[in-house]
Each structure stands twice: as C-alpha cells, then as structure tokens.
Amino acid sequence: MNRRKILSVVGARPQFIKAAPVSKALAARGGLDEVLVHTGQHYDDNMSGAFFEELEIPAPAYQLGIHGGGHGAMTGRMMIALEEVMLREQPHAVLVYGDTNSTLAGALSAAKLRVPIGHVEAGLRSFSQMPEEINRALTDRVSRWLFCPTPGAVDNLAREGMTQGVHFVGDVMYDASLMMRARARASSTILARLGLAAGCFQLATLHRAENTDDRRALARAVRYLDAATREAPVVLPLHPRTRAAVAGFGLALGAIRAVDPVSYLDMTALLDGCSRVLTDSGGLQKEAYFLRKPCVTLRDVTEWHETVEAGWNRLWGNADYRPRQEIAAYGDGHAAEKVIDLLAAEL
Ligand code: UD1
C-alpha cells in the first residue's frame, strides 16, 4: 500500500490530551504518516508545551502561532494559515478534535479543499448557543468520519440526519486517562508541593466564556466555589482567561486557593486525590467520572449527559445526584486504535 498522510490539527489544551493516544496509535500502525499542526491557540508553556512533553506527543511540524482576538478573527486567521499548510502537504485526510476554534478552522479549511475530515469526539450536543456547540455541530456537518465517544453521540447525529461514516469508537480521553493515572500515582508530586492530603480537598476549574465574560456570572461562580470551601478546601488551577477576568472585574477569590495551571500529569493526580470536582470544563466532568469522583458542573447544560445519568455528575442548578449506576458509555480504553483502524481501512 502507498503511504497515506494524515494531517492532525490541535491548538488548545484538551486537544493535546485527545491527540496523544491517536498519535501513538497512528505511529504504531504501518503505512500512515502524521503531520501535526499546532494552531497556537494555547501558547503558555503550562497550557501547551508541558502537555506535549508529558503526553509524549511528537513536536508539531507546524506551529502557526495564532491566538487571541475575537472568535471570528481567530478562526479566520487559522483558516488562512491552515489552508496554506494543507495545500503544501496535500494530506489524504485531516483529523480534528473536539470543539474549539482550532477544530472548526481545521474542518472548514479541509472541507473547502475537499480533503476528507475525521472528527474525533463527534456528535456531542449541549443544545445551547455556547461557542463550542457551534464549533462541534458545524465540524460534524462537514466531516466524512464521525468518531463518536458515546452511543448517545451516535443518536444525536442520527437525529440530525447524519448516519453515513458514523462510528461509536469510545472516548479517546478515557484512553488518555487510563494511560496517565498509573503514571500520576507513580510520579506526580503535586499533592506534596501544594501541601494537600488525599481525600481532604476539592478540585475546581473555571474558564468557560459563559462564566467568565460577564461580571455577574463570574461573581456567581466565584461565590459558589467560595461557599464550597466550608466543606473542604477548594484548589483552583486558574486558567489565564479567568485570572484576567477576576482582576479586570475587581473580584476577590475569598477562601478559594488559586494556583497556576497544572500539567496533565498533575491534574490527573489532583483528580485522583480530591474528594469532589467543581468545574465548567467538559473534559473534566468526564475524567471525574472515569476516576469515580462526584462532580458538580458549574453550567446550566452539559453535553456529557451520561455522567449525570450515572449519578456522578450534577448541574449546579440541581440539588441532588441521580441514583448511582455503572454505565459503559465511554468504550474500552482503545478508542484511538479504532479511529486509526477505520482510517487505515478506508484510505
Ligand atoms: C478554549 C476552547 C474551550 C476549551 C478551552 C480549554 C474555544 C472557543 N474554546 O477556550 O472550548 O475548553 O480552550 O482550555 O476554542 N490564554 C493565555 N495563554 C494561553 C491560552 C490562553 O493567556 O496559553 C488567554 C488568551 O490570550 C485569551 C484567553 O486566555 O485571552 C482565552 O483563550 P482562548 O484560546 O480564546 O479560549 P479558552 O478560554 O482557552
């Protein structure tokens, strides 16, 4: 077989985590070459470089250095640069991950050039107007391979008339989480560095636009986390966007313990050691479930309904969890291999 070239587009923190197991599976498979493109959406070392090292992702072949600005400007600048790269590289397929502006830019650039697209984490819906919902729905619409993390995602696509090229493969973040948990237990020192005892603290993250871009919304979220400190200390690795918003709106964090963003290894260790998770992140809601930690989602909707149905996650507007049950919604920890098997068979 002639060698086939896959161009993968990553840019933001959760995409590095998703791309890691897929890159690994791709490298292990004969006949496929990967060209990794980093849009530059996340650029601080603790938001990007550290992830590449720990997750053993090869250095990107292209670093586009595009970040900041409005959503349209950021996505547009990425498209201009990605189109050039795709024209030069002539890939047989493009892989995009999740629902960030980098995802949409990669998908639209490839679609205009008629390069077939594989969307890893296809079919999720929160039924809201969040920027991520726009990104994921449009990306699904132009993708040839829709790699779904859950059976529910397959149903969502079917409701929108998408049944061709739809595959339930499981969640690549589950693959990554399994890979990292053992390593975090063996080598992370974050609990000792922060002086935390396992089981005696809560882990929080807060960065989504709906919570950070409006003073009242951010004040509400901060108040919620501050109130939670009455139960156990709350450790909050602070996204740069949230840090800037807190300062800009003149808010105080009260008893919340803010720390700099942490690497994926350290995040896994914090998750493994905490008593509860409080977050507006999509990824962390799931990772909390993978490690069977109760989670409160600081949002009014979630695209990860299964974690709520399983009784481990609740939206902050709901006082109680549903009864706990085991669900097998996220696959068997080999989602990335399935993605690569399907691509290799069809290219
Ligand atoms: C993006 C994704 C979001 C994902 C999140 C993960 C979109 C629409 N949103 O949101 O779905 O959950 O990534 O973290 O794509 N910044 C820095 N240093 C960095 C990265 C960002 O200072 O390394 C600053 C940026 O300059 C910007 C702000 O943080 O002012 C927000 O960054 P941006 O990439 O626009 O979106 P995220 O909030 O990170």
Tell me the pLDDT tens digit for each residue of 154-178: 999 999 999 999 999 999 999 999 9
Mean pLDDT of 198-217: 97
Q: Does the active-site annotation cover 119? A: no
- Establish whether domains 4-171+331-346 and 184-315 are of one fold: yes
Mean pLDDT of 189-193: 97
- pLDDT at residue 329 above 90? no
Can you give the residue ranges of every domain in the chain?
4-171+331-346, 184-315
Give the architecture-level CATH label for domain 184-315.
3-Layer(aba) Sandwich (3.40)
Pocket of ligand 1 contains residue 14 by CB under 6 Å: yes
pLDDT of residue 1: 58
Ligand 1 geometric centre to CA of 11 (Å): 9
Ligand 1 geometric centre to CA of 94 (Å): 23
Average pLDDT taken over every residue of the chain: 96
- pLDDT at residue 18 above 90? yes
Please list the residues that pair with 211 across neighbouring strands. none
Q: Would you list the DSSP string of 204-230? A: EE---HHHHSSHHHHHHHHHHHHHHTT
* Structure tokens that stand for 239 in this block: 């996204």
- pLDDT at residue 29 above 70? yes
- pLDDT at residue 327 above 90? no
For 243-301, the pLDDT digits (tens) are 999 999 999 999 999 999 999 999 999 999 999 999 999 999 999 999 999 999 999 99
Q: Please state the pTM of the whole predicted model.
A: 0.94
Phi and psi for 168 in degrees, rounded to 5?
-80, 110
Which residues does 9 contact at the CB level (< 8 Å), separation at least 6?
37, 39, 82, 94, 95, 96, 97, 102, 103, 105, 106
Catalytic hit among 71, 207, 305, 334: 207
Q: Are strands 202-205 and 166-168 parallel, antiparallel or unpaired?
A: unpaired
Of 38, 164, 35, 20, which Cα lies nearest the Cα of 92?
35
Cα–Cα distance for residue pair 252/136, rounded to 1 Å: 34
- pLDDT at residue 201 above 70? yes
Ligand 1 geometric centre to CA of 208 (Å): 9
- Helix, strand, coil percentages for the chain (3-state, nearest 5): 45, 15, 40
Give the architecture-level CATH label for domain 4-171+331-346.
3-Layer(aba) Sandwich (3.40)
- pLDDT at residue 138 above 70? yes
pLDDT of residue 52: 95
Pocket of ligand 1 contains residue 191 by CB under 6 Å: no
pLDDT of residue 30: 87
